[in-house]
A and B are shown apart, each in its own frame.
Chain A
Amino acid sequence: MSLPFILFFVCAGLAILGAVLLIVSREPIHSALSLILVMVALAILYLTLGAEFIAAVQVIVYAGAIMVLFVFVIMLLNAGVEERTNWSQMAKYAGLPLAVVLLLEIAQWFWRSPTSARAVNGTPEAHPTHALSVLLFRQYVFPFEATSILILIAILGALVLAKRQE
């Protein structure tokens, strides 16, 4: 076991642990904290994949801004313990087996796929963040501007929806 494998398995274990805790915890605030654990573990995995800028954005935007919004709403609404009585019968008898089958199928397909079996190799970019910014502001400049309009619309929509109707 070399160091990259140990790092990968520690981070993967933390991510899966966080996802399982998200499912089993009954308080929404505990779910939010375990989701932050998943996001930080994924940020470390992005670092090992050579995507430093994505790792920074993951921590700043996802674990920072988005999860703070979640925690803020949980505290604002005073969300208590989730009651776990009558599940939908369809979810119990069709949904759960379908979710397990989906998981197994995706994992099996990825595992058997011949192109993904080889190790990560090839020379990485010398300055990946620089190359990423060139790609983002040249080739993908139109989708980039479109996302700014999307965010503007989202801000207006959130304002209209959250406003108390008189």
Chain B
Amino acid sequence: MNLVPVSYYLVLSAILFGLGVIAFIFKRNIIAIFMSIELMLNAVNLAFVAFARQWNELDGLVFVLFVIVVAAAEVAVGLAIVITIAHNRRSLNVEDVNLLKF
């Protein structure tokens, strides 16, 4: 029987989400920025699974499956955009992609 309180899982989820936000802000490499988005999605999935376990409802697990599917689609399109940017700009640094920068 699992005796770990749900709040432990939720705090871990919050910590991982915060680290994902920090990585999103600090990383300059466009692929690393994509990976920090994946980290944030994983943190949200952990919160979904913890809540599903707490209330004994399986709907949260269905949402986790949908999040994983949408993340896969997002990565496929996003990495295609990254490849196009890398071919056009010859660089993976987001500082070099500043055409729309304010």
Q: Show the binding face of A for B, using Cβ within 8 Å.
A: 2, 4-5, 8, 12, 15-16, 19-20, 22-23, 28, 31-32, 35, 38-39, 42, 45-46, 48-51, 53-54, 57-58, 61-62, 65-66, 69-70, 73-74, 76-77, 79, 82-84, 86-87, 91, 95-96, 99-100, 102-103, 106-107, 110-111, 113, 115-120, 122-125, 128, 131-132, 135-136, 140, 143, 147, 150-151, 153-155, 157-159, 161-162, 164
A33 to chain B minimum Cβ distance, whole angstroms, is 10
By beta carbon, the residue of chain B nearest A3 is B3
How many pairs of A and B residues are in contact by the CB < 8 Å rule? 245
* Interfacial chain B residues near A159, Cβ < 8 Å: 80
Contact between chains at A70 and B14 (CB < 8 Å): no
Structural contact, B66 and A143, CB atoms closer than 8 A: yes
A65 to B92, CA, bound (A): 22
Interface residues of B in 27-53 (CB under 8 A from A): 27-29, 31-32, 34-36, 38-39, 42, 45-46, 49-50, 52-53
Decide: A22 near B61, CB < 8 A? Known: A120-B2, A161-B80.
Answer: no
Q: Is the CB of B83 within 8 A of A65?
A: no
Bound Cα distance A65, B68 (Å): 11
- What band does the interface of chain B fall in when counting residues whose beta carbon is under 8 Å from A? 35 or more
Q: B77 at interface (Cβ–Cβ under 8 A)?
A: yes
Interface SS, A side: helix
Which residues in B have some Cβ–Cβ distance to A below 8 Å?
Answer: 2-23, 25-29, 31-32, 34-36, 38-39, 42, 45-46, 49-50, 52-54, 56, 58-59, 61-62, 64-66, 68-77, 79-84, 86-87, 92-93, 95
A128 to B58, CA, bound (A): 8
Min CB distance B80 to A, Å, is 4
A135 touches B42 (CB 8 A): no
Question: Complex: how many Å from CA A158 to CA B26?
Answer: 27
How far apart sit A134 and B27, CA to CA, in the bound complex (Å)? 42
**Given the known A-B contacts A77-B83, A95-B25, A157-B80, are A116 and B31 also in contact in the complex, defined by CB atoms under 8 Å?**
no
Nearest residue in B to A90 (C-beta to C-beta)?
Answer: B25
Residues of chain B lying within 8 A (CB to CB) of residue A125: 56, 58
Chain A min CB distance to B100 (Å): 14
Which B residues lie within 8 Å of A107 (CB)? 11, 14-15, 18
CA distance A91 to B3 in the complex (A): 40
A15 to B8, CA, bound (A): 13
- Which chain B residues border A120 with CB–CB below 8 Å? 2-6, 53-54
10 residue pairs bridging A and B, Cβ less than 8 Å apart: A19-B16, A22-B36, A42-B46, A48-B4, A86-B95, A103-B17, A119-B5, A132-B61, A135-B62, A154-B76
